[in-house]
Structure 1
Amino acid sequence: MNVCLIASTSFEINASGEKIADLSRRGKFRISTLVSGVGIMAATHCITREIERNRPDFLVQAGVAGSFSDQYPPGTLVAVSHDLVADTCVKESIGYRHLTDMGLQPDAFPYRNGWLENKGPFPDNIPIVKGITVNEISTDSEKTAWFREKYGAVTESMEGAALHFAALSAGIPFIQLRTISNMVGERDKENWQLKEAITLLNHQLPNLLENILQQWNSR
């Protein structure tokens, strides 16, 4: 089983590299890593190219994210089941409107009820949440409030929807794993827990990978 582990930056997964290599050596899984770059366009291009060239059996995206919810503070590890690009929108006198609200993004494959939905499998012991993907890290309070009210999402990233779109379009099973590094809208990066979030991700990632892949193999 060929598995591709994807991160937007190498430092998000470097610390678990040896353990993941050991998992690959002793298991039934051949795990390669892919650094996609930051942002929706870079990630979509890189993941799609990997699919076209190597056709992995399973895609895993791992990285950090912001949180909209106090129930999921920095230091929380989650899996994202639903994602979309949230800031393809326009601001009108009545507020923000997404492309779907204007009829410019049809609710057709790979979308389902407006979302890019992953039906699993998911790890047994971490929360499964909705996420959104943005081009600009949210700091504006009005837009942040709109995201929270409209989507009810927990996480905000800059690459998650790229994975969901590419994997669903190609029919390849996948999972998006995130550790929370900050609350969305927090402008003072001194309050972010980026280093701690990356440490937690790398500590948990090898076991999570093994759990997910064993579940998939047993289906």
Structure 2
Amino acid sequence: MKILIVSATKLEIEPLLVNFVETNQVNQKLREYSFKKLDIDVLVTGVGMVPTAFWLADTLSRNTYQLALNIGICGSFNNTTPLGEVLNITSDCFSEMGAEDGESFLAMADLDLLEDDDFSFNKGQIKNVFSFEHKAISSLKKVSGVTVNKVHGEVNSIELTKQLFCPDVESMEGASFFYACLTHQLKNLQLRAVSNYIEKRNKENWNIPLAVKNVCHTTFQLLQHL
């Protein structure tokens, strides 16, 4: 089985990589590994939706995979979700894509600019249409996300985003990953662990090491039984 693991940074998957044997470096972003009976390509795209979209499209145009995994961390809009909890993001959107109308914001669905034949979007949301059942992820909470260029840290913009999209989490890459995978009809999962809450920026409240540890552990459990 050939699997693609996509992450914005090496930091987010470093505890996972120590379990693999590296066999080849394809380019500055893509490396090949082996693990048990699996062939695993690891793509470290760089942070943000544009690098993710470019490098993932390039990789998928040159290779065939049975499964793609987007592994990383996220911020949570819900402060009752424990830091470090691993979540299964099943829908995502480009929440900043739209137009300002005075003090209002019009999302893409409001502008009626989404083509009917663009299967990836459902009223502005990109939903993962592939079902994937496995005991390592069956207990994970399924949530919705927003993908942003600028992470939220101001009260008014946070409240507006919650009103418009009702998201559970925020990342800078998730919707790009979904869009590319769905365009290629590639079965995929987006797994992220909560590293912080969406609030006025306060790094003292973050726990990136715990989030990285937990999402890598869950991913390892998944790979062990594929």
Q: TM-score, normalised by structure 1?
A: 0.89
Deviation (angstroms), 1:160: 0.2
Deviation (angstroms), 1:94: 4.9
- Specify the alignment match of 1:81 in structure 2: 90
Matched, 1:57 2:71: no
What count of residue pairs does the alignment treat as equivalent? 211
1:121 paired residue among 119, 129, 132: 132
Deviation (angstroms), 1:71: 3.2
Deviation (angstroms), 1:19: 2.5
- Specify the alignment match of 1:104 in structure 2: 113
Deviation (angstroms), 1:90: 2.7
- Specify the alignment match of 1:15 in structure 2: 15
Change (3 A) 1:85 1:55: same
Separation in 1, partners of 2:20, 2:163:
38
Contact 2:7 2:43 in 1 (8 A): yes
Letter of the 1:167 partner, please give it: C
- Specify the alignment match of 1:169 in structure 2: 183
Separation in 2, partners of 1:20, 1:124:
24
2:42 paired residue among 30, 33, 37: 33
Deviation (angstroms), 1:78: 0.2
- Specify the alignment match of 1:217 in structure 2: none
Separation in 2, partners of 1:112, 1:155:
19
Separation in 2, partners of 1:156, 1:162:
13
Change (3 A) 1:129 1:21: farther
- Give the secondary structure class of the aligned counterpart of 1:13: helix
Separation in 2, partners of 1:98, 1:147:
11
Deviation (angstroms), 1:203: 2.4
Identical counterparts, % of pairs? 25
Separation in 2, partners of 1:167, 1:179:
21
Deviation (angstroms), 1:197: 1.1
Deviation (angstroms), 1:80: 0.5
Instruction: Kindly provide the CA deviation profile for residues 147-184 of structure 1, in whole angstroms up to 9, marking residues without a partner as x.
Output: 11221211100000011000001111111000001111
Separation in 2, partners of 1:167, 1:204:
21
Separation in 2, partners of 1:54, 1:115:
27
Unaligned runs of 5+ in 1: 215-219
Matched, 1:207 2:221: yes
Backbone CA RMSD of aligned residues? 1.9
2:145 paired residue among 131, 147, 171: 131
Letter of the 2:179 partner, please give it: F
